[in-house]
Structure 1
């Protein structure tokens, strides 16, 4: 070890060397030439300083930038296809279900005579028709005019809180509502040996299902009434607050960790929510135009406000999905996988041996239950006195039939442009001396890639 004095001397010598090296630079002849530093020399070096970007890192950053702006386009393709599936399930309740219900009721009368028994699909159609008919008749007893004036008399803050509570309740009802309907349908079509396992009878399940659909229909009616008050009021403060509420959703969603399955659930929820808003706004337009005797001047102002609500919803979905995929490093191609999943459900539901109705598959996949919305639409369209009611029912029936033919053509167009399916003969296997048909009947052959 060195002594304290020697170490101080060595430190001073090293400091002298450092200072001397900092004040000199290598010359052409190998000697060191001193150069005085100045502000001008520093600025000159900073201005003329060169550098080269790292290719691999900046290439990835540019790809992320491009993917960020590609997310909205891929999201809208998925949402558009899911929207058509929701429209298919909703319009089927208004057009095909009444016909199937009438046929099932006639076959039920034939069964009482002893000619034949009802098939499981016919029993399901009969129960769905009873639930829809009972909900429509009970919801028709509610006076929407009185409900509108009660809601309108409340303050803006109360209505804002009330609308948020209705949104939460609607999501909760949609989450377990299909389970209640599935329990009813399975109770009606359950094989004889397994009926001893059920705890409630068919009538109890029917009452529970009707109570659920009625409560959900009344909840959606309150949503439509609150939205109508916000749109038709002279002060647009409530409508502005309700639109800004969509942006609050970004705070709770963007910075959470999402896997692919969680993103798929969120995308399906957005599809269902967008279709729900479209139906609500149509109900608001019909109710308002009826009060104004169908004047065109009022229609244009209504359409502008409704368009603002939809545009705010779409923009929030774009920003939300763009940042969620960016923060969780999820590729934009995942939306095509989601689209394939929806197309697979559509193809498998159209087989002769389909495990469930297409509307039920949409309800489970997207969380959309069409019966409450259908009951609300029937309630809004068929409430005036009997003389006018018959004319309106005839008009609505013609419109819904035409719309059903249109949505069938649109569905075939979308199905043909997105994906081609090939239906194979179901593979049959023997298990415990019972023949079971394979649950997967649909094989995807080709995926026609959409233009980039």
Structure 2
């Protein structure tokens, strides 16, 4: 009987265990069935998924919009670069003819040369002096000196040269602008400078040193091309991909991205010229054998492709992480087009090549000087036929320059019109330097006005449209432009500038308009 009761208890526990297993089994089947048939509706969070889709579309649009900007900027740099070889010598020749013939019949009180002609003559003299100084630099000795260094040392040298090139560009345009203004400043104005000759010597020294720096860059790149295992070229190309790491995961504003785009345009054009110099030097060493050009083509294409890929990836992820639309590149293109259109006006205050230098940090004089030095040392001109070929080549360059300028001007007018920026071409900027009394009255006047009006007035001040030349009797008038102040540090609310001849402060709105941003303007406490 006890045994029968024990068996019944065992069956009972087995039955309970079987039921629990069946329940768990049914729960497992129900869970698996729920996982297989579970549904959800993306439309419940429509805004989120729409935003994600737009980000994907933005990333897909970035390469097209970026390359349109890069192509337009490339031809802008090419136009400024060709100007040094084509129109600048002719303008210098016309200015010298005027300088030699005008004293015989000039009217009293008239200028010997117009300010633009003075600047052209100064540029011509700088190029001639620096070219004569470049003959004392031995390219072959520099090449073998660099070739004897280790790969790691050359990689470090190349990075240092890139940083030095940016520093030279930032300070070099200031030196050239100071020379131009010192040479063309009205005579009646109280002199507050060291004189034209010291400024001219500083400009000559700058252009010469910058040309030497670019020559070292070209020589290092030439060594990388001629190395047997191409290890140095690979390391130098990998340096471009390191740039992605340093830029993608940082906060960028619209103005910062504009500066980076200008820097990429200038860097790409400079690299193309450096590749041209490398090809010229290599073709000279192989007696201009066309077969060797096909040997260089894979390396040249690899460098260009890596540069384009890095720029596309960098800009795509910067716009993604900072929620910047792809249409912003159209605004950047319109800003560059505005510089070109305004430089063709009668009231332009600067040459277009100088405008490109300020906006992009591209100074064509040192690069053109180096290219002239390399071409004259690589190409031997002998006989009348060679001179005829040189003349035809020069006429071809002039034709290319004129055609490029016409196409760029037409495209720029279209871009400016699409951006609704025509009215800014006819705005009258402030043409006088405010005195202490006028600035005090101006400040007291604006203390009773709304803050929005002062900001709007600062935004309306165009950097391009400047007053036409005034007679020398109005020497107190001085063209001013906020874009000429290359290094400005705007505060979050407003900027304060200390006047040297007084203790008063002038409050200025920070630069937010793209037309007021150049390559070396600090935006958000950084320069990219």
Indicate the TM-score class for this superposition, using the shorter chain for normalisation.
0.7 to 0.9
Residue 155 of structure 1 is aligned with which of 141, 147, 150? 150
* 1:94 corresponds to: 85
Residue 171 of structure 2 is aligned with which of 173, 176, 189? 176
Alignment of 1:306-345 (within 5 A): 306-345=300-339
TM-score, normalised on structure 1? 0.83
In 1, are the aligned partners of 2:429 and 2:465 still within 8 Å (CA)?
no
1:383 deviates by 2.2
1:397 deviates by 5.2
* 1:124 corresponds to: 119
In 1, are the aligned partners of 2:76 and 2:408 still within 8 Å (CA)?
no
2:45 paired with 1:51: no
2:367 paired with 1:373: yes
Identify, as 1 or 2, the structure richer in strand: 1
Residue 305 of structure 1 is aligned with which of 290, 299, 316? 299
Which deviates more, 47-56 or 85-94?
47-56
1:235 deviates by 1.6
* 1:4 corresponds to: none
Q: How has the CA–CA distance of structure 1 residues 224 and 439 changed in structure 2, closer, same or farther, with 3 Å as cutoff?
A: closer
Q: How has the CA–CA distance of structure 1 residues 389 and 306 changed in structure 2, closer, same or farther, with 3 Å as cutoff?
A: farther
User: What secondary structure is seen at the aligned counterpart in 1 of 2:191?
Assistant: helix
2:191 paired with 1:202: no
Alignment of 1:356-367 (within 5 A): 356-367=350-361
Residue 240 of structure 1 is aligned with which of 199, 219, 234? 234
Q: State the Cα RMSD in Å.
A: 2.8
Residue 84 of structure 1 is aligned with which of 56, 65, 75? 75
* 2:59 corresponds to: 68
Tell me how far apart the structure 2 counterparts of residues 266 and 348 of structure 1 sit (CA, whole Å).
Answer: 23
1:284 deviates by 0.6
1:354 deviates by 1.1
Tell me how far apart the structure 2 counterparts of residues 158 and 284 of structure 1 sit (CA, whole Å).
Answer: 20
In 2, are the aligned partners of 1:111 and 1:118 still within 8 Å (CA)?
no
1:236 deviates by 0.4
1:403 deviates by 2.8
* 1:12 corresponds to: none
2:203 paired with 1:219: no
Alignment of 1:23-42 (within 5 A): 37-42=26-31
* 2:96 corresponds to: 105
Which runs of no fewer than 5 residues in structure 2 stay unpaired?
A: 1-18, 433-461, 467-528
1:303 deviates by 1.7
Residues 32-59 of structure 1: per-residue CA shift (max 9 Å, x gap): xx88644333222111111111322211
User: What secondary structure is seen at the aligned counterpart in 2 of 1:329?
Assistant: coil
User: What secondary structure is seen at the aligned counterpart in 2 of 1:165?
Assistant: helix
* 1:351 corresponds to: 345
1:409 deviates by 1.8
User: What secondary structure is seen at the aligned counterpart in 1 of 2:317?
Assistant: helix
User: What secondary structure is seen at the aligned counterpart in 1 of 2:219?
Assistant: helix
Residue 260 of structure 2 is aligned with which of 256, 261, 266? 266
1:143 deviates by 1.4
What is the total number of aligned residue pairs between the two structures? Answer: 406
* 1:412 corresponds to: 406
1:419 deviates by 3.5
TM-score, normalised on structure 2? 0.72
Residue 295 of structure 1 is aligned with which of 282, 289, 293? 289
1:343 deviates by 0.7
2:246 paired with 1:257: no
Q: How has the CA–CA distance of structure 1 residues 65 and 192 changed in structure 2, closer, same or farther, with 3 Å as cutoff?
A: same
Q: How has the CA–CA distance of structure 1 residues 396 and 288 changed in structure 2, closer, same or farther, with 3 Å as cutoff?
A: farther
Residues 324-381 of structure 1: per-residue CA shift (max 9 Å, x gap): 1111111111110111111110000011221110000000011100000010011011
Which runs of no fewer than 5 residues in structure 1 stay unpaired?
A: 1-22, 24-33, 433-437, 443-452
Tell me how far apart the structure 2 counterparts of residues 98 and 350 of structure 1 sit (CA, whole Å).
Answer: 19
Tell me how far apart the structure 2 counterparts of residues 316 and 393 of structure 1 sit (CA, whole Å).
Answer: 43
Residues 84-114 of structure 1: per-residue CA shift (max 9 Å, x gap): 1100000000111111111112222235556
Which deviates more, 299-308 or 210-219?
299-308
Answer 1 or 2: higher relative contact order, Cα 8 Å, separation at least 6: 1
1:407 deviates by 3.7
Q: How has the CA–CA distance of structure 1 residues 284 and 396 changed in structure 2, closer, same or farther, with 3 Å as cutoff?
A: farther
1:399 deviates by 2.5
Tell me how far apart the structure 2 counterparts of residues 88 and 189 of structure 1 sit (CA, whole Å).
Answer: 25
In 1, are the aligned partners of 2:211 and 2:366 still within 8 Å (CA)?
yes
In 2, are the aligned partners of 1:230 and 1:239 still within 8 Å (CA)?
yes
